[in-house]
Amino acid sequence: MQKSFSEKVLYAHDAHIKYIEELEEEAELQRIEEIEANQLEELRTGGFVPPENEISEYSDNPNL
C-alpha cells in the first residue's frame, strides 16, 4: 500500500518531534551530570572558589 503525501509528512513531523525530544532529554542528562561533577569537585577541593574578579574586589575593599 502506497502512503499518501500527507501521511508521509505527518510521519516525518512525528519523527522530527521525537528526535527533538531525545535531544532535549540528552541535554538535560548532560546538565545534571555536569552539576554532579561540579559538586564532587567542590567537595574534593574544599568548596566553592569565587571568580578571580570577585576575589580582587574583596582585596580592594577589606570592609566587604
Specify whether the CB–CB gap between 64 and 57 falls below 8 A: yes
Residue 64 has pLDDT above 60, yes or no: no
- pTM score, whole prediction: 0.57
Residue 60 has pLDDT above 60, yes or no: no
Predicted confidence at residue 57, as pLDDT, reads: 56
The full DSSP string for 19-63 is: HHHHHHHHHHHHHHHHHHHHHHHHHHHTS----HHHHHHHHH-TT
Of the ranges 2-6, 15-19, 53-57, which one carries the lowest mean pLDDT score?
53-57
Q: What is the pLDDT of residues 10-49, one digit of tens each?
A: 999 999 999 999 999 999 999 999 999 988 888 788 777 6
